[in-house]
Amino acid sequence: MRSAAFVLAFIASLSASAQDSAFKQVAAPASDILSGRVRLPSPVACATTSPAAVLDVAFEWNDAVGWSAETPITIATAGRLSLGLLAPGASNWEVDVRAAGAEYVPIVDFSGARLERSSKTLTEFMTGWKAERYDLDAVAPGAWTLRIRAPHAPRDRSPLPGLLIVRDAAPIAIAAYTATLTTLSENEIGIVAHVFDSSRGSSADVLRGAVLRGEAVVETEHGTERLQLFDDGAHQDGAAGDGVFGAVLARWTSGNVQARIDLFGVTPLGAAFRRTAQLTFPIVERRTAFNGDAATRVADEQRLRIELGALPLGPAAKLHVSTEVWGTDEHGEIVPVCWLSRMLLPEVRDGAWRFPLFMDARWLDVARARPPLYLRQVRVQDPDTHVPYDVVDWLPLSVQALPPVVSATEPWHQAPVPITRSMLSTAVSSALQQGGLLETDQRPRSWARTLLLVHGYCSGGSIWPPADFSAPKTEFLDPNQNRTHDQFAQLLRNAAPPRSSFGVVAHSQGGPAALHLYTYYASGLDNAIGPRRIQSVASPYQGTPLASWGGFACGVNNNMTPAGSTTWLAGIPTWARDSVWYWTTSNSGSACNFITSLLLSSPEDGTVEQARGQLPGAHSMGHVTGWCHTTGMSNPANYTDHARNALLNSNAAR
């Protein structure tokens, strides 16, 4: 028989308003702890990478040639050279090149290389700017000077400054990241970077001895400053001489920080190189910190309530709290039991905050463990930026009693205990935070069903061809907006009518937003019936370097930077990922976007790299060529693939 608390929670869930978020209590088995899937990543795993150099183009008047900008460039390896010029009016510029001690010649005569030139007005990246791209083959290595002229600009009006992107054939790339994920204003925050060989190994593999110097131009709400990077072990850069360079931001910086980081060096063969990464990250004010209290009590016949104490250091608001639970096995060894996570509103009691988590006590039998219990990797994060406010490595957990569901016999003598759906996900109504629980797999199956068609970040409006999807269907529209995953998820939840059941077909950020909704909030997505609950195309589950650029369509999106997405993904357990089927795409020859391709690693679709479009633990449907991320690129937009859309439609849950 259902408990009174269950019935009350069920009734409350039906009448709850859109503001009553019906947070879920999320759990994951010990395997997700041991694999590291639900642990915060190391900072280097969050690196933004780039294979190119990005230089400023600033004009000066010259009586002989008019407005011009001279920019030195270095080519590290013989082979293909690509140059991208971006600025308002860039298509009116002319480009000359000279070697040291030589005269300028038009770029068409540069080093005898064959030239391809293309131009475009940008719409999805650096919106409103114009771009010129020059591709030259068989270019010799060396140091050159590029002269960019604006011959039609009058003397009394300087052309607006722009950017020059230089990508040569050398496989050297830069990796840039913050030295800590806890980017709080009260901390000194290190900006660190190194180079790696992109043709072998990973971005975490430091190419030692290659970098000679580094610098960062940092923009904060206080202005712009240029910082020198050091490899001396004193700038949060690790050990002195380890090839990692760092600079430190002063305390009490806050808001979004944008840093353009340049590393200069020589290849193992002695050729000079320059690489640039654009790094964007949020610095937030600490809202809370754990005070060391961790208490338990029996919540009902199945669940143990774990209550974490914290200091209120800011206004009460929604928080994201997670912890690992560890117990003791028959040999007295400490073993992982489960991982717990949920969104919550802090309870206020005796001048302190309390964060309640609910653990199904059957996890103890699954793990063959008993008290004493311990908490590890206890963390509280901002739900929008995912920046940790506080992380505690270890807390003892006093347990006076266990729920009756726990077997009276020692667990190591029992048969294996199965993991049920209710152990992994249980809705906790925010109106009944003191203990109201709702089994998300016991809701009625007779609710109105639909397929929710979801666009991505900054979409101009409807994208999915209507004829490709059969009724019942609902199109989600939130045009020209920049949302966090959490904000996007709330909009998806509210897009479906009350007492609904829906599956999702999503493009780009719509995929992570739907997965976030399914993980943390009770919604009609829990009730969907059909083969595939969430299907996505070209979703940046591991981010995109383009999200760090301020001119990226609707602005910087911290959830889709490599750092923000990797930190967010550490809160998504395997069981939730298992409800996702996803595709990645790329061009069939020429680059999808002739500017963004200079900043991305192939294969890519003009916005999302194949490697960063992967969602470990989910169902990859493969990589398809001949499709780009959106309209206006070299191949059709991937959401217009009628054959794939037919598969999405026929397999969608509703």
- What 493-497 contacts at long range (C-beta under 8 Å, 24+ apart), as own/partner pairs, is 493/18, 493/517, 493/521, 493/523, 493/524, 493/525, 494/18, 495/452, 496/450, 496/452, 496/523, 496/524, 497/448
Of 283, 317, 352, which residue is a domain's last? 283
Asked whether residue 279 falls in the same domain as residue 255, the answer is yes
CATH number of the domain bearing residue 147: 2.60.120.380
Asked whether residue 351 falls in the same domain as residue 484, the answer is no
With 0-12 / 13-18 / 19 or more C-beta atoms within 10 angstroms meaning exposed / middle / buried, residue 14 is exposed
Q: What's the CA gap between 395 and 292, in Å, rounded? A: 7
Q: What does the pLDDT look like over 584-641, one tens digit per residue?
A: 999 998 899 988 999 999 999 999 999 999 999 999 999 999 999 999 899 999 999 9
Asked whether residue 135 falls in the same domain as residue 207, the answer is no
Determine what percent of the chain is predicted with pLDDT higher than 90.
Answer: 74
Q: What's the CA gap between 550 and 524, in Å, rounded? A: 35
Asked whether residue 69 falls in the same domain as residue 38, the answer is no
Strands 580-586 and 619-625, bridge-based pairing: parallel
Q: Is 566 in contact with 45 (CB distance < 8 Å)?
A: yes
Asked whether residue 408 falls in the same domain as residue 451, the answer is no
Asked whether residue 475 falls in the same domain as residue 570, the answer is yes
Asked if residue 331 belongs to a domain, the reply is: yes
Q: Where do the H-state alpha helices sit in 16-86? A: 30-34
Asked whether residue 428 falls in the same domain as residue 478, the answer is no
Q: What does the pLDDT look like over 501-554, one tens digit per residue?
A: 999 999 999 999 999 999 999 999 999 999 999 999 999 999 999 998 866 678
Hey, how many other C-beta atoms are within 10 angstroms of the C-beta on 142? 15
Q: What's the CA gap between 134 and 84, in Å, rounded? A: 6
CATH number of the domain bearing residue 599: 3.40.50.1820
What are the tokens at 602?
């192939």
- Sole residue written with tokens 């700038």: 235
Q: What's the CA gap between 613 and 541, in Å, rounded? A: 5
Q: Write down the pTM of the prediction.
A: 0.93
Q: Is 391 in contact with 378 (CB distance < 8 Å)?
A: yes
Q: What's the CA gap between 116 and 136, in Å, rounded? A: 7
Asked whether residue 566 falls in the same domain as residue 429, the answer is no
Which CA distances in Å does 424 have to 358, 499, 610, 615? Answer: 11, 22, 30, 20
Asked whether residue 128 falls in the same domain as residue 227, the answer is no
Asked if residue 173 belongs to a domain, the reply is: no
Asked if residue 179 belongs to a domain, the reply is: no
Asked if residue 47 belongs to a domain, the reply is: no
Is pLDDT larger for residue 627 or for residue 19? 627
Asked whether residue 137 falls in the same domain as residue 239, the answer is no
Hey, how many other C-beta atoms are within 10 angstroms of the C-beta on 461? 10
Asked if residue 86 belongs to a domain, the reply is: yes
Instruction: Return the DSSP state at 463.
Output: -
For residue 430, what pLDDT is reported? 47
Q: Is the pLDDT of residue 433 over 60?
A: no
Of 256, 283, 310, which residue is a domain's last? 283
Q: What's the CA gap between 130 and 162, in Å, rounded? A: 10
Of 167, 195, 215, which residue is a domain's last? 167
Mean pLDDT of the chain, nearest integer:
90
Residue whose C-alpha is closest to residue 520's, from 344, 652, 374: 344
- Give backbone dihedrals phi and psi of 495, rounded to 5 degrees, phi first: -70, -25
Q: What's the CA gap between 492 and 345, in Å, rounded? A: 21
Asked whether residue 448 falls in the same domain as residue 403, the answer is no
CATH number of the domain bearing residue 306: 2.60.40.10
| Number of domains observed in the structure of the chain | 4
For residue 446, what pLDDT is reported? 61
CA angle 632, 633, 636 (to 5 degrees): 90
Asked if residue 180 belongs to a domain, the reply is: no
Asked whether residue 407 falls in the same domain as residue 472, the answer is no
Residue whose C-alpha is closest to residue 649's, from 539, 504, 510, 448: 504
Instruction: Give the domain extent around 278.
Output: 185-283
